[in-house]
Amino acid sequence: MNKLFNWILKYPRVILVVTLVSSAALFFVMKNNSRMETDLDKYMPQQHPAFVYSDQAEEWFNINDGIIIAIEHENGIYNSGTLQKVKDLTKALQQMDEINKKDVTSLYTADNIIGTDEGMDVKAFYKRVPQSDGNLKTLRQNVRNNDMISGRLVSESETVTVIIAEIEDDVFTQEFYKNILETAKTYEGPENVYVAGRPIVEGTMALLGPADMKRMVPIVLTVIVLVLLWVMRSFKNTIFTMLVVLFSVVWAFGLMALINIPIYAVSTMIPVMLIAIGVADGIHLYSHLDLFMLKNPNTGKMEAVKDMLAGMWKPVAMTSVTTAVGFISLLTSQVYPIKYFGIFTAIGVMMAMVFSLLLIPAAILVFGLPKRKPKVGKSEKKSGHIAYRFAEAVVKNKVVTYISIVFIVVLSIYGMSKVWINSSFLEKFETDSDIVLTDKFINQNFGGTSTINVILESQDENVFKQPHVMQLIDEMQAESEKLTLVGNSFSLADYLRRMNKVMHADSVEYDTIPESNKLIAQYLLLYEMSGDPENLWKVVDYKYNKANITLQLKSDNSKAINAAIAVVDQFVDRFQKFGVSVKYAGSGYKGLVFTDLILQGQITSLLLSLIIIVVLLSIMFRKISIGFIGAVPIAVTAFISFGIMGLFDIPLSTTTALISSIAIGIGIDYAVHFIERYKINALETQDRTKTIQETMHHSGRAIIFNALVVIAGFLVLLASVFPPNRSLGALVSLNMFTSFLGTITIMFILIYASNIYFKNKS
């Protein structure tokens, strides 16, 4: 390290130029190559068995997420003007390059299965828009008589109808998203037009994510600058500390763009993280410099920089490595956004360390020492006396600390038992946002905007022409629809019930599954001959040994999906008796698996990071006991974090799942700086009282400044448009406070009681 220090001292201007040029080059790469990932399926591990099977099932039955456009007329949709708009908008959607014509379903394109003198026929509800009252009444009656349409495409109130345009994942772009919204808007008046569906959620998230980041970064910069000015009392120190974090952000995003890693929704928080975290090194470096200048008021800049580097390179390097480890542990997650968040935040943290140890010393050598010279005055003496008294009080009242920690941990364990995982992407938005209100409106009038697909398979062909199997499917659908959050369901059973009813003069008593497999086969043959077989292949394959049941849900969160799956699972054994297996597919189910992977990754990364932290601290300080003592405050912080989430009903999500790694990564910094200063003081003085006093005054002072800046930075997330981001900001800020408090209380007591670094152990 001496060679590196000598190089820094010899070529400070070269360091400044190289730093500026390299960062500018990466900024150019970042600006031109960065891209936002809009497909939520790409957030998931594509090789996971559940996703592989779901993709296969989606291919079998052409299962795609749909854009839902609802058209509302307060006096009812059965008027020529509204029906004309349904027809025109349907055709407009069919003509879009991103949408297949056959994948647009509306009252204009839907099939109406009816009975005739010759048997059965399938025809459209209307081709020409009905103009007379008689024709409008006939259309209304036809819809009312068809349970496959009434309540699904037309609301029970008959004031709303929907158009559903299914699209493939790889066609959705921001341009297409904007085109859909603009097209829908042109059909408003006097009708209200609402646009919803998973693709719209994806598009809105992709639109708001970068916008939120652009809005948040200036706010967090302003807050951090103001806090740094208050803490450091120096414009020069503040400027170079901020340059360090800005360069670290540029390097993190520049490298992402360079290797073509997209920006996910959670990635938008990396700048806030690095700005809040990266200032820590600068604070500790300048704090040490201030104390050195206090003792040596006539020192020169070369001597001051040498002392700063000699005294602080090790704790700065150690804290950066331990912080990076906290984020790198997220690599255990199978969820891509979390994995990449961990990697590039860790890279940003390490680059902040590099810039701190290069840029700040070089800046001091080129631009001189800070103008503000610490003076030995009443305020300085007062702060020292406060630190001394606090250290003595903590040691004297250690029993109170022990009892408090036990109580907090027990309460936290109780709260942890209530933590749940939320798969909802819609609940990432404000409850009063347009997209949430639109989704709520459609859910109130129809079966639901979210779906889960139940896939039934058998080795035997034509198994889904057997009455007992179809009756079991019908029973399962009826049981599922008893759940409040399951608005509707759809399967081959609905086709058979409709056909059986119309073939018996629309008699309600025949709204059942036919008792004869021959009759079922006859109905299906008639439909294939009369209607569009493509519609049939969305619920069953042509060999009739695979079937797709779609459950419509009024919520996309884990509780709703798990409740629906629990009902279906009750039928698994009964299906197996007929040689039929039950599996799941679709975006709703993949979202559920996605959240399970978040939990698994969270537990793994938490345990792994704690183990690595203990090992690293043991190696850094050459004592295993120090490794365990240093891990105590962050372990307690992790307990508190999850306990609060459970007690306040804050779910785990792709965003809040980052809490433990952030808490460990940042919280361990306080422990490292404190232990390092304690070690230095103990070895120099061999006086326990003087050691605790000077450690609390030196490191305690810097830790307080560090905690204030980091907490202020993360509290800025409370201004985010995404509720999970706000929860994360509040929880991380609380974690930083508890980590800081745990370091100067419970960890301080443990290291004091252990008599480590003192030759006389008595």
Report yes or no: 485 and 124 within 8 Å, Cβ to Cβ: no
Kindly list the domain boundaries of the chain, sorted by start residue: 1-33+202-376, 446-588
Q: Is 162 helix (H, G, I), strand (E, B) or coil?
A: strand
Tell me which amino acid residue 377 is: G
Mean pLDDT score across all residues of the chain: 87
Distance separating alpha carbons of residues 25 and 439, to the nearest angstrom: 44
pLDDT, one tens digit per residue, over 211-251 is: 887 888 888 888 888 888 887 888 888 999 999 999 999 99
pTM over 0.85: no
Distance separating alpha carbons of residues 758 and 679, to the nearest angstrom: 9
pLDDT, one tens digit per residue, over 66-118 is: 899 999 999 999 999 999 999 999 999 999 988 988 899 999 999 898 888 77
Look at residue 38 in the predicted model and tell me its pLDDT.
65
Element (H, E) at 618: helix 586-621
Look at residue 374 in the predicted model and tell me its pLDDT.
45
User: For residue 149, what are its two tokens?
Assistant: 């349409």
Tell me which amino acid residue 523 is: Y
Please say whether the dihedral angle defined by the alpha carbons of residues 170, 176, 178 and 184, taken in this order, is positive or negative: negative
Strands, E, within 421-499: which ranges? Answer: 450-458, 486-490
Report yes or no: 151 and 487 within 8 Å, Cβ to Cβ: no
Report yes or no: 359 and 20 within 8 Å, Cβ to Cβ: no
Residue 529: CB atoms within 10 A of its CB come to: 11
Nearest CA among 551, 549, 557 for reference residue 439: 557
Look at residue 384 in the predicted model and tell me its pLDDT.
56
Return all residues near 470 (Cβ < 8 A) that are at least 6 apart: 464, 492, 493, 496, 513, 520
Distance separating alpha carbons of residues 169 and 181, to the nearest angstrom: 18
Look at residue 45 in the predicted model and tell me its pLDDT.
73
Look at residue 1 in the predicted model and tell me its pLDDT.
61
Return all residues near 601 (Cβ < 8 A) that are at least 6 apart: 330, 332, 333, 334, 335, 338, 657
Return all residues near 329 (Cβ < 8 A) that are at least 6 apart: 342, 605, 606, 608, 609, 612, 661, 664
**Which residue blocks in 186-262 are alpha helix, DSSP H?**
198-232, 235-258
Q: Each residue of 579-618: b (16+ CB within 10 Å) or e?
A: ebebbbbbbbbbbbbbbebbeebbebbbebbbebbbebbb
Residue whose structure tokens are 């190696």: 619
Nearest CA among 104, 102, 107, 125 for reference residue 71: 107
* Residue 197 φ/ψ region, left for φ over 0, alpha for ψ in the -120 to 50 degree band, beta for the rest: left
Distance separating alpha carbons of residues 254 and 30, to the nearest angstrom: 4
Distances from the Cα of 703 to the Cα of 642, 747, 753, angstroms: 24, 14, 21
676 half-sphere exposure, CB direction, 13 A CA radius: 23
Question: Which class does domain 1-33+202-376 fall in?
Answer: mainly alpha
Distances from the Cα of 124 to the Cα of 104, 114, 139, 143, angstroms: 14, 10, 10, 11
Distance separating alpha carbons of residues 296 and 488, to the nearest angstrom: 78
Distance separating alpha carbons of residues 321 and 317, to the nearest angstrom: 6
Distance separating alpha carbons of residues 748 and 758, to the nearest angstrom: 15
Return all residues near 514 (Cβ < 8 A) that are at least 6 apart: 467, 496, 500, 520, 523
Please say whether the dihedral angle defined by the alpha carbons of residues 704, 656, 252 and 348, taken in this order, is positive or negative: positive
Distances from the Cα of 629 to the Cα of 533, 743, 748, angstroms: 69, 10, 9
Residue 178: CB atoms within 10 A of its CB come to: 12
Q: Each residue of 78-115: b (16+ CB within 10 Å) or e?
A: bbeebbebbbebbebbbebebbbeebbbbbbbbbbbbe
Report yes or no: 218 and 453 within 8 Å, Cβ to Cβ: no
Count the helix, strand and coil residues of the chain and give each as a percent rounded to the nearest 5. Answer: 70, 10, 25
Look at residue 596 in the predicted model and tell me its pLDDT.
78
pLDDT, one tens digit per residue, over 472-518 is: 999 999 999 999 989 999 999 999 999 999 998 888 899 999 999 99
Look at residue 40 in the predicted model and tell me its pLDDT.
63
Return all residues near 653 (Cβ < 8 A) that are at least 6 apart: 421, 422, 424, 428, 595, 598, 724
Distance separating alpha carbons of residues 269 and 744, to the nearest angstrom: 29
Return all residues near 418 (Cβ < 8 A) that are at least 6 apart: 646, 647, 649
Report yes or no: 158 and 140 within 8 Å, Cβ to Cβ: yes
Distance separating alpha carbons of residues 727 and 733, to the nearest angstrom: 10
Burial of 214 from C-beta contacts in 10 A (0-12 / 13-18 / 19+): exposed
Report yes or no: 575 and 456 within 8 Å, Cβ to Cβ: yes
Distance separating alpha carbons of residues 696 and 692, to the nearest angstrom: 6
Element (H, E) at 47: none
Distance separating alpha carbons of residues 148 and 123, to the nearest angstrom: 14
Please say whether the dihedral angle defined by the alpha carbons of residues 737, 739, 742 and 748, taken in this order, is positive or negative: negative
Distance separating alpha carbons of residues 414 and 411, to the nearest angstrom: 5
Look at residue 376 in the predicted model and tell me its pLDDT.
46
Block means of pLDDT (10 residues each) for the chain, 762 residues, are 74 90 93 77 76 91 91 95 96 92 92 83 91 95 92 94 87 84 93 91 79 82 86 86 92 93 82 80 86 83 90 86 83 82 92 92 89 50 69 88 92 90 79 88 89 95 95 96 92 94 90 93 87 84 95 88 94 96 90 78 79 88 90 88 88 74 76 86 86 82 80 84 84 87 90 80 54
